[in-house]
Amino acid sequence: MTDHEFPYAAARRVVQTALDEDLGPDNLDVTTFATIPPEQVTVGHVVARADGVVAGLPAIALVIEAVAARIGALAPRVEVHVSDGTPVERGVQVATIAGSTQATLIAERTILNIICRVSGIATHTSLWARELAGTQALVLDTRKTTPGLRALEKYAVRCGGGTNKRMGLYDVAMIKDNHKLAAGGLTGAYAAIRAAYPAVPIQVEVTTTPEALEAVAAGARFLLCDNMSAELLRETVAAVRALESEVGERVEIEATGGLTLGVAARYAATGVDYLSVGGLTHSSPILDLALDLDV
């Protein structure tokens, strides 16, 4: 994972919002300002307190720079020791911060809130990627992200070995049950989207084999098989693959709904291309990281 893939613009917005929450309208840390003289400098280390996959480390410098600008301090020097997407063990120092103690301490919680969250998602995703290794299936994320953190959370999925699906409502159309009901049916909904947005990819959510075949007949080349048992999914994949020779194109098939690591291999064996897991971004526990100052 390389730094140029990090979503810097989105991260800067997150950092500013977080610091607004922490420092209030007057950029005030009453504890730090009362106890630490502005001229004091220290060295601190960001340390892993658990095994996992780190991600979001470029945010450390962004937070430090933003804090220093707010309090009129010289920004401490940040040195990151590992790349995002790297597995680390408990006790590993992932970054060092050297300079203004005030800036470092004010930045501490915002740094950790971001990188612990993002690293937790990367760590969780890596478990899925490992479980699916050797199969044709990839693990996908969803739009079930924390408001305002989508770019960072989807970046974390990539760091963990997962694959991003759509970023929002604008880049891929997804016809779900409520769209079918409101539009009068699957085929009509597909035709309406294709007419309005001819260049936008369309995915159709299906829950039965006949519905999957209807979607392919309507023109869909990306299916979302929702809450199917492994047995029904296998039957649906086989039926769709048989229809591919008639339509002359391959159909991508994604499984979703109630998937767990315990059944991942079984669902991958059905022949699907993807397993999508909302829990990557809405339920991943943080990776425990800490900032320790040198004495």
Catalytic residue IDs: 109, 144, 176, 205, 226
Could you tell me the CA-to-CA distances from 160 to 49, 53, 129, 208, 280 in Å, in that order? Answer: 18, 7, 7, 32, 10
Could you tell me the CA-to-CA distances from 176 to 189, 190, 202, 218 in Å, in that order? Answer: 10, 11, 11, 15
Please, how many CA atoms are within 13 Å of residue 262, restricted to the half-sphere of its CB? Answer: 1
Three-point CA angle 229, 235, 236, nearest 5°: 85
Could you tell me the CA-to-CA distances from 35 to 40, 104, 111, 160 in Å, in that order? Answer: 11, 14, 21, 40
DSSP 14-75: HHHHHHHHHHTTTT--HHHHHHS-TT-EEEEEEEESS-EE---THHHHHHHHHHHHHHT-PP
Encode 71-130 in three state secondary structure: HCCCCCEEEECCCCCCEECCCCEEEEEEEEHHHHHHHHHHHHHHHHHHHHHHHHHHHHHH
CA distance 9 to 249: 38
CA distance 209 to 200: 25
